[in-house]
Chains A and B, each alone.
Chain A
Amino acid sequence: MTGPATDTASAAARPSAQPQPGQAARRPRFRKLRRSKVLGIGIALIAFWVAVAILAPLIAPYGPNIQHTTALANPFPSSDHWFGADPLRRDIFSRIVWGARPVLLVAPAALFCANVVGIAIGMSAGFYGGWVDELCSRVIDVLLSFPKIVLYVVLIASLGPSALNIVVAVILVSSPGIGRLVRGLTIELKTRDFVTAARMRAESGFYIMLVEILPNARGPLIVDFCMRMGYTIIAIGVLGFLGLGLPPPNPDWGGMVREATPMLTVYPYMAIFPSLAIITLVMGFNLVADGLQDLDHGR
């Protein structure tokens, strides 16, 4: 590929000989996107669940909390209840479809907040250094020293199970890790000459952090976001399984697995279908993270 434009005076005088700048710059990225199978599968899985969540009223044959007396004797999968019925004889297929909504709402919203907090902490620590860095880094160390799942359980158990409290818990659990990542990226990026150039234009620290440094940290941050989406969805599932998820009777995949455990040997499908839902969604995000990383390294 020829460069987007030429390097010199004479060529500048006849720009028609060269491809128009801008055009050449954009195309290869999409071509690469098509080339990475892993990324394609990941995006397809996520898109599937997003579509399910949005179209839930159209897809689900029943409401998530309607009990079907017809299924009292035979809760097994049938033409009426594709995935069967749960211990309370609610339609599992409908509950899984409706259950996609809280997961796909809570997890990204919580992680978005965690990223805002993490980026703010990590970026100031990395950019200013000195005592700001010491303070932020020690707080991060303390928070990271707790096992994640213990932190989740302790937080939700004390705050009480609700969507908002899950968001708070995700912020507290995820932002230290994000902060540490951003701090490292910032320390590396702030030595670049374009940051020095910004300092020599008397730009404010705020401007340098947000406009000069942050855009260049987006690659690792997007990959990290996808990985964390996987963890967070699992965490929400685990909380639901421990009875600390969304309060009943809301459809909650983790909670569905928990309700199924006492009768696992008789009705295994009651746990298997919601587990499959969690697995495919988590896998979607992990594959996207892998795919993006591969593209980054030109593999």
Chain B
Amino acid sequence: MADERDTILSVEDLEVRYASDDRDIVAVTDVSFAIERGQCLGLVGESGCGKSTIAMAILRYLGHQGRISKGRILFQSRDMAGLTAEDLRALRGGRIAAIYQGASTALNPTMAIGAQLAEVLRTHAGLDRNRISDRVLDMLAAVGISEPSGMIGRFPHQISGGQQQRVVIAMAFLAEPELLILDEPTTALDVTVEAEIMNLLGEMRAARGTAMLFISHNLGLVRQICHTISVMYAGQIVEHGSAQSVLDRPRHPYTIGMIACVPRLDLGRADYRLVSMPGQVPRLVEPPRCCTFMDRCAHAREGTCDRPMALEDMGGGARVRCSRWREVAGAGLSAPPAASATPILPRRDRILSLEGVSKTYEMHRLFNLSRKSAAKVRANDLISLELAAGETLGIVGESGCGKSTLARIVTGLEVPTGGWVRLLGGDVTRRMVERRSLRQVRNVQMVFQNPDSTLNPSHSVGFILERAVKKLGAATGRAARRAEVERLLDLVRMPRDITRVTAAHLSGGQKQRVAVARAFAGRPSLVVADEPTSALDTSVKTAILELLLSAQKESGTALIFISHDLAVVRYIADRIAVMYLGQIVEIGRADEVFTPPYHPYCEALLAAVPAVDGALDRRRPRLTGEVGRAVANAGSCLFAPRCARAIAGTCERFEPPVIEAAAGHLIRCHLPLADLCALPPVFGRRGGAAQTVSGWQPTNL
């Protein structure tokens, strides 16, 4: 144990309860941890496990319903419970700073950036005006804002999400906090921006020795920044240890399950199988009387697991809340056999083809009524692709790259401004969904991103599915429709009596299951899934992916799967299209796109994703800057301004050619194919592949 003085925060036997309608809900129980100066502790777990509650409890922000019912929180050896309101106010934003997920809500929209930052110094440091503005400018430069003097005059809505989060970080560090609480600080950001923010946080910590509490559901991120990790489940810490030991040699069945749920970037679908965890996180109304994970645990034993679990010391500072951890670790994870590799499909019917499709939005400025001078924003630019029956096409790219616009054109929610769209042999270029033929409408369905908006909250599951069957399916008659609804519920593995439940009362994962069932109600030829898993927790995400795959296989449906999560796309897609600023910069089979030769943008995207597996070694140029707006195309490569491998004098002046790297594998780049082939693969394995197969990995590498 380190010196007493070096312990910044220590939480002892914490229990937090929320008052509910009839009885208390135990949000956190029996939680103890300590963070030392310059250390970063990661709290990981699914939503509803009490991670954020701990952060709120530290700052005493529990609201009028929440209270600390047991234990204490010591900040620099002072008991937080004894602090007055005045002391607390000085502490918050001063010696303890917090950064939350939504940077835009953390900033005051009516104040200039500079003034907001200065406010921190006035309140917590009491400096005079000149010194304040110097400090603000220094800090903005330190968080990587290229032109600090220009930034101070701007308002939050005038800067991008990534820059907003930088400003929030600057604000947090200005008061020189001893402890920084980070609650999912990068979840709303693109992977590339996330990578930059994480680098920045790492540098700031190294330079200032700030202790950090990092809350995230993303295991890769946690590995990157944290020294120690506490895995939370149902309000308890179930496993604690160094980041490396927890992630490489997880002992608790929950940790093992969580890691097995994470799709991998370096392996294709044929090489491994995601294992989803059954069940969901229980909500406790009293301190648990048995292992909280028992219901979902494959290793659970009567007599051993049905009593309260204590954290057991495994040596080396590692602790686990499982009495059977030795047996569990010995058993390893019995991964089911791999899904058979998708065979290279014979040329089948093309159900969809896009040819030179473009979509331009006209930006009308206020008070500018002349149509001619309206600026044009190009969302899609000369997109050409084809989709065969039963095929899965993944579309990846940062936000703002036109992925969703492409989906809306295919589904007839938007009409392209140029090019041709052919669907099931018919031209639908100028046809919104209302003007398409019944056959064309029925055969294209969608799965949406936001589970809370995808189902009508006023309708019951039964009504929703029956209506879909009636309008989309072939079943006639009430009994036949009922049978069809039951088939769909079986397909998405939901109990049949769920039909009476109103959609508003379902959990996010359940809503998304019903949405999948609704989309497949009429056995469509094509389902467009626009980020269907990005709002879901890790274990639920995996389950939905499995469902999509099995539903697709059952009805022979083609799938367009849009996501910013490259690992998910790699797992689910046969072919992948990488989009940048409305253009497809690379398209090919999943394994082709993720290994050289690839487009420099694809390389940069891959390099930005944090990996859970520490054996992956990636030393790559980071992608800096942000997706701009493709306002006018001056015949250059759109990626050139951010490209680490741009050829000076060529890339910014000429439109790049399309190179055919292999049959069906196209790359839009100026670099010669030989150079692209020579790019080192992003996934090098440290010390050779043979040594790196760690215990938890699925056995069939």
Contacts and interface: CB of A to CB of B under 8 A. Distances in A.
A80 B448 CA distance: 71
Contacts of B453: 192-194
Interface in A1-36: 1-12, 15, 17, 20-22, 24-25, 28, 31-32, 35
20 contacts: A1-B283, A2-B282, A4-B501, A5-B497, A5-B510, A7-B510, A8-B277, A8-B278, A22-B497, A28-B21, A31-B21, A31-B22, A192-B453, A193-B449, A197-B454, A197-B515, A200-B446, A202-B442, A202-B471, A215-B456
B303 to A, nearest CB: 19
B636 interface: no
Contact of A7 (B497, B501, B507): B507
Nearest to A20: B497
Interface in B408-465: 411-413, 433-434, 438, 441-442, 444-446, 448-450, 453-459
Given A3-B510, A8-B278, A15-B497, A200 B457 contact: no
B291 interface: no
A37 interface: no
Interface residues of B, number: 55
A12 B493 contact: yes
A138 interface: no
Nearest to B408: A196
Nearest to A2: B283
Interface string B507-537: 1011001010010000000000000000000
A203 interface: yes
Given A22-B500, A200-B441, A200-B444, A9 B455 contact: no
Contacts of B442: 201-202
A38 B450 CA distance: 35
Contacts of B412: 200
A212 interface: yes
Contacts of B515: 197
Contacts of B621: none
Interface of A: 1-12, 15, 17, 20-22, 24-25, 28, 31-32, 35, 192-194, 196-197, 199-203, 212, 215-216, 218
Given A1-B283, A22-B500, A197-B454, A7 B444 contact: no
A284 B410 CA distance: 53
Contact of B279 (A7, A25, A201, A203): A7
Contacts of B502: 25
B448 A196 contact: yes
B495 A15 contact: yes
A149 B453 CA distance: 41
Counting chain A CB atoms within 10 Å of each CB, the highest count among B276, B500, B543 belongs to B500
A194 to B, nearest CB: 4
Contact of B468 (A6, A10, A201): A201
B280 A7 contact: yes
A196 B411 CA distance: 10
B75 to A, nearest CB: 32
Contacts of A35: 21
B498 A7 contact: no
B233 to A, nearest CB: 15
Contacts of A1: 20, 283
Contacts of A31: 21-22
Contact of A21 (B441, B455, B501, B540): B501
Contacts of A199: 413, 433-434
Given A8-B543, A24-B505, A32-B21, 13 more contacts: A4-B501, A5-B498, A5-B510, A12-B495, A21-B497, A21-B498, A25-B501, A192-B453, A193-B449, A197-B518, A200-B433, A200-B444, A202-B434
Contact of B454 (A11, A22, A194): A194
* A-B pairs with lowest CB-CB distance, top 10: A10-B278, A215-B458, A193-B448, A9-B493, A201-B471, A8-B278, A194-B456, A21-B501, A202-B441, A193-B453
Contacts of B283: 1-2
Contacts of A15: 495, 497
Contacts of B445: 200
B549 to A, nearest CB: 14
B318 interface: no
A47 to B, nearest CB: 25
Contacts of B455: 194
Nearest to B440: A202
Contacts of A8: 276-280, 493, 543
Contacts of A21: 495, 497-498, 500-501
A212 B456 contact: yes
A22 B501 CA distance: 5
A106 B449 CA distance: 47
B466 to A, nearest CB: 12
The winner among A4, A8, A22, A216 for most chain B CB atoms within 10 A is: A8
Contacts of B459: 215
A5 B411 CA distance: 33
Contacts of A194: 453-456
Interface string B607-649: 0000000000000000000000000000000000000000000
Contacts of A7: 279-280, 507, 509-510, 513, 540, 543
B493 A197 contact: no
Contacts of B448: 193, 196-197
B328 interface: no
A223 to B, nearest CB: 16
B671 interface: no
Give the one of B413, B495, B513 with max A CB within 10 A. B495
B457 A11 contact: no
Contacts of B444: 200
Contacts of A28: 21
Contacts of B433: 199-200, 202
A128 to B, nearest CB: 12
Given A25-B505, A197-B518, A216-B458, A6 B446 contact: no
B451 to A, nearest CB: 9
Nearest to B461: A21
B266 to A, nearest CB: 28
Contacts of B278: 8-11
Contacts of B279: 6-8, 10-11
Nearest to A204: B434
B104 to A, nearest CB: 20
Contacts of A202: 433-434, 438, 441-442, 471
Interface in B534-566: 540, 543
Contacts of B475: none
Nearest to B503: A194
B97 interface: no
Contacts of A212: 456
B143 to A, nearest CB: 35
Interface string B487-505: 0000001110110111001
A196 B445 CA distance: 10
Nearest to B411: A200
Nearest to A27: B21
Taking each of A7, A201, A202, which has the highest tally of chain B beta carbons within 10 Å of its own beta carbon? A7
A64 B147 CA distance: 82
Contacts of A192: 453
Nearest to B20: A1
B350 interface: no
Contact of B280 (A3, A32, A196, A197): A3
Contacts of A24: 505
